[in-house]
């Protein structure tokens, strides 16, 4: 168990904007920050972070909460694991009790796989540094590659011994189940025999964005063995290679800081560049680049620089990945190294300044790079030049932004010596073809489309919406004092009934509580009812009300709803309305009439419901009861009219 004092230290230290900033590129939006949702594929930011309230809200997925809940949602951590992660981030010592065998058995499949992977990582690291075989084989290999001890430890590199089942035996001795060793690919089975999958290899752990070990890459060192040079963990519940970038955990902060991501091919390319001082580098680990991997980068930056080896054949094949980057509306540059060099070897032979200068001077816009590469292949052949020009325009057609398309077409026309008109005409043909293909795909799914049309939009419950507004007012202004105007019935000189304004000063929570209490109004929504009671208790007993502290003490369901209500007030900050001459009301200023009007509207709805119930009762009542109910109904109707008059008077 983690002590409450330790948890409190984590809550006090963790800044939501810092925690989320490790995973999402945040930009200032008023008093808040905004960014692309890490939970959905979107081009326009709908993810908001409030440093003042220490909460976040993703309007695209509906998720929200504090720093702890973000880590739980993003990394699929349990609550204790999220606490441990943040404690490590902020250097907070944390007491952890060893898991019992029973607790290990109760862990979920995913958590058990993560636990086995973490154990394996520690085992491989220990083998590398603490055993004679690890030092003489594994450590010496890494030293030959030029890696320092600091770098080796940073990337948690390790070694798997030649012994057939060293890891498997040790893990089972530590009570880790064989099923999870098999499902993570650490252990293989042949008949009744089990053996280590990575034996005799140097190990490269593959981390999630938060540093969790998802899988491993292993390189064989004995070239005489008839086996694959590199071995990767198989696809599993926790490891999906198409959704992972090697080195992203170590590079994420540098990528956000530099607003650029260097993309290479292999593990050692990443490690060597990082060691040389260029830390904003990741790798697709030798696999073809995927949209999911690109979207991971896009959370941190919109700029990618692809680094190619000097091998021309590899460059042409890698250009397909560039088109995928363009489709995600990202800015891409390309830099290739001299023939015979790759990022690893180049970084080893040159200083940080020399490598930086080389990238700065040789990184080209993708149009320039592609045109120069393809022009070499054309060699003044008009037919080939035509084909290669079309190839470039096809890449431009993948860009969603029409302004970028136009600028790239002009650049292509200059480089390829082709008129802009011809290129624009070709681009239009390609875009039209794309549009027709989309229409054909939609026509192939008429049943789905008809179902979409038949879907009824959910009906809005006005009472629930008013309850939501009251909760929002309590969060936003609950402890604020204000003069509230109400009306009482009076008579003028001629005896006519009039509404006489009266003004009283209260705190917002006092005004709301007294008005609802006097009418014996209760919330109908269970979540809002619970939030209302907790808010009133906190506001009436605490000297200072802090939203972040209040939400941190709620259970996940209440915390999620509370975050949604609070952030709804700041939702307009996501959009730059002022730049479009649209001026949104400043929700930081309390308008007492909003409080009064909300309460009156809630009372009016409840009275109307009461009248409807009483009219139904009349149908089954006897004569005496009917007269009594009618009399009471008339009184309620008069009250409903009075509230309507008051609402018309509120400015």
Residue finishing a domain among 386, 410, 443: 443
Are residue 480 and residue 559 in the same domain, yes or no?
A: yes
Q: Is the pTM of this model over 0.95?
A: no
Given a contact cutoff of 8 angstroms between Cβ atoms, the answer to whether 297 and 304 are in contact is yes
The answer to whether residue 315 is domain-embedded is no
The answer to whether residue 273 is domain-embedded is no
DSSP conformation letters of 240-252:
-GGG--BTHHHHH
Are residue 72 and residue 113 in the same domain, yes or no?
A: no
Are residue 162 and residue 44 in the same domain, yes or no?
A: no
Task: Name 300's Cβ contacts closer than 8 Å, sequence gap at least 6.
Answer: 23, 24, 25, 252, 255, 256, 261
Are residue 418 and residue 551 in the same domain, yes or no?
A: no
Residue finishing a domain among 63, 89, 115: 89
Are residue 130 and residue 199 in the same domain, yes or no?
A: yes
The answer to whether residue 358 is domain-embedded is no
The answer to whether residue 285 is domain-embedded is no
Rounded alpha-carbon distances, angstroms, from residue 13 to 281, 454, 480: 29, 50, 28
The CATH code of the domain that includes 46 is 3.90.580.10
With b meaning 16 or more CB within 10 Å and e meaning fewer, what string describes 383-413? eebeebbeebbebbbbbeeeeebeebbebbb
Are residue 544 and residue 424 in the same domain, yes or no?
A: no
Instruction: Give the relative orientation of helices 556-568 and 462-477 as an angle to the nearest 10 degrees.
Output: 80
DSSP conformation letters of 165-214:
THHHHHHHHTT--HHHHHHTTSEEEETTEEEETTTTEEEEEEE-TTS-EE
Q: Which portions of the chain are predicted below pLDDT 50? A: 449, 452, 457, 577, 580-584, 651
Are residue 85 and residue 106 in the same domain, yes or no?
A: no
Q: What is the DSSP letter of 625?
A: H
The answer to whether residue 513 is domain-embedded is yes
Are residue 480 and residue 518 in the same domain, yes or no?
A: yes
The answer to whether residue 144 is domain-embedded is yes
User: How many other CB atoms are found less than 10 A from the CB of residue 112?
Assistant: 21
CA distance from start to end of the chain: 55
pLDDT for the residue numbered 126: 97
Half-sphere exposure of 422 (CA within 13 A, CB side): 10
The answer to whether residue 297 is domain-embedded is no
Domain span holding position 123: 101-239
Which structure tokens are listed for 568?
Answer: 């709804």
- Number of structural domains the chain divides into: 4
Angle at 336 between CA 335 and CA 339, to 5 degrees: 165
pLDDT for the residue numbered 543: 81
pLDDT for the residue numbered 580: 46
Task: Report the 3 state secondary structure along 457-480.
Answer: CCCCCHHHHHHHHHHHHHHHHCCC
Are residue 487 and residue 604 in the same domain, yes or no?
A: yes
Spatial distance between the Cα atoms of 282 and 262, rounded to a whole number of angstroms: 6
pLDDT for the residue numbered 412: 86
Are residue 575 and residue 608 in the same domain, yes or no?
A: yes
Are residue 76 and residue 127 in the same domain, yes or no?
A: no
With b meaning 16 or more CB within 10 Å and e meaning fewer, what string describes 30-52? bebbbbbbbeeebeebbbbbbee
The answer to whether residue 57 is domain-embedded is yes
Are residue 637 and residue 508 in the same domain, yes or no?
A: yes
Residue finishing a domain among 199, 214, 239: 239
Given a contact cutoff of 8 angstroms between Cβ atoms, the answer to whether 296 and 371 are in contact is no
């Amino acid at each position: 168990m983690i002590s409450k004092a330790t948890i409190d230290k984590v809550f006090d230290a963790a800044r939501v904007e810092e925690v989320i900033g490790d995973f999402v590129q945040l930009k200032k939006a008023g008093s808040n920050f905004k960014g692309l949702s890490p939970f959905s594929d979107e081009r326009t930011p709908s993810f908001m972070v409030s440093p003042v309230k220490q909460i976040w809200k993703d309007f695209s997925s509906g998720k929200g909460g504090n720093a702890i809940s973000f880590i739980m949602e993003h990394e699929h951590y349990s609550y204790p694991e999220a606490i441990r992660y943040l404690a490590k981030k902020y250097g907070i010592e944390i007491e952890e009790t060893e898991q019992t065998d029973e607790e290990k058995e109760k862990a979920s499949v995913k958590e058990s796989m993560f636990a086995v992977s973490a154990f394996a990582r520690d085992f491989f690291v220990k083998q590398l540094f603490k055993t004679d075989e690890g030092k003489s084989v594994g450590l010496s290999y890494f030293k030959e590659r030029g890696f320092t001890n600091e770098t080796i430890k940073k990337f948690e590199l390790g070694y798997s011994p030649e012994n057939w089942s060293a890891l498997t035996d040790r893990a089972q001795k530590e009570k880790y189940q064989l099923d999870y060793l098999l499902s993570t690919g650490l252990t293989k089975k042949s008949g009744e025999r089990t053996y280590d999958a990575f034996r005799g290899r140097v190990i490269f752990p593959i981390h999630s964005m938060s540093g969790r070990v998802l899988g491993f890459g292993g390189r064989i060192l004995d070239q005489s063995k008839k086996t694959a040079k590199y071995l990767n963990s198989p696809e599993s519940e926790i490891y999906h290679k198409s959704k992972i970038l090697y080195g992203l955990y170590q590079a994420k902060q540098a990528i956000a800081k530099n607003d650029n991501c260097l993309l290479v091919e292999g593990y050692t390319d990443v490690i060597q560049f990082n060691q040389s001082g260029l830390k904003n580098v990741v790798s697709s680990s030798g696999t073809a680049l995927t949209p999911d991997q690109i979207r991971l980068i896009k959370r941190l930056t919109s700029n990618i620089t692809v680094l190619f080896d000097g091998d021309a054949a590899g460059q042409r094949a890698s250009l397909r990945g560039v088109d995928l980057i363009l489709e995600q509306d990202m800015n891409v540059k390309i830099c290739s190294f001299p023939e015979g060099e790759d990022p690893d070897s180049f970084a080893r032979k040159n200083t940080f300044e020399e490598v930086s200068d080389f990238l700065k001077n040789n990184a080209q816009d993708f149009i320039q790079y592609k045109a120069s590469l393809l022009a070499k292949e054309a060699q003044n052949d008009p037919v080939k030049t035509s084909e290669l020009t079309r190839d470039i325009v096809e890449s431009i057609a993948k860009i969603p932004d029409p302004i970028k398309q136009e600028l790239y077409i002009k650049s292509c026309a200059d480089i390829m010596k082709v008129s802009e008109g011809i290129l624009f005409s070709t681009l239009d043909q390609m875009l039209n073809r794309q549009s027709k293909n989309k229409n054909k795909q939609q026509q192939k799914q008429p049943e789905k489309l008809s179902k979409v049309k038949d879907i009824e939009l959910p009906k809005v419950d006005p009472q629930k919406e008013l309850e939501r507004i009251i909760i929002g007012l309590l969060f936003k202004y609950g402890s604020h004092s204000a003069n509230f105007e109400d009306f009482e019935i009076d008579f003028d000189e001629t005896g006519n009934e009039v509404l006489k304004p009266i003004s009283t000063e209260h705190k917002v929570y006092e005004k709301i509580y007294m008005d609802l209490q006097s009418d014996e109004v209760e919330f109908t929504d269970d979540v809002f009812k619970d939030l209302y009671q907790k808010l009133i208790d906190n506001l009436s007993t605490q000297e200072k009300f802090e939203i972040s502290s209040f939400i941190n003490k709620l259970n996940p369901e209440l915390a999620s709803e509370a975050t949604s209500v609070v952030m709804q007030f700041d939702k307009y900050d996501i959009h730059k309305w002022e730049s479009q001459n649209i001026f949104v009301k400043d929700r930081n200023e309390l308008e007492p009439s909003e409080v009064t009007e909300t309460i009156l509207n809630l009372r009016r709805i409840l009275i109307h419901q009461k009248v409807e119930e009483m009219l139904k009762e009349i149908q089954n009542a006897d004569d005496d009861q009917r007269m009594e109910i009618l009399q009471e109904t008339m009184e309620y109707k008069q009250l409903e009219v009075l509230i309507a008059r008051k609402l018309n008077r509120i400015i």
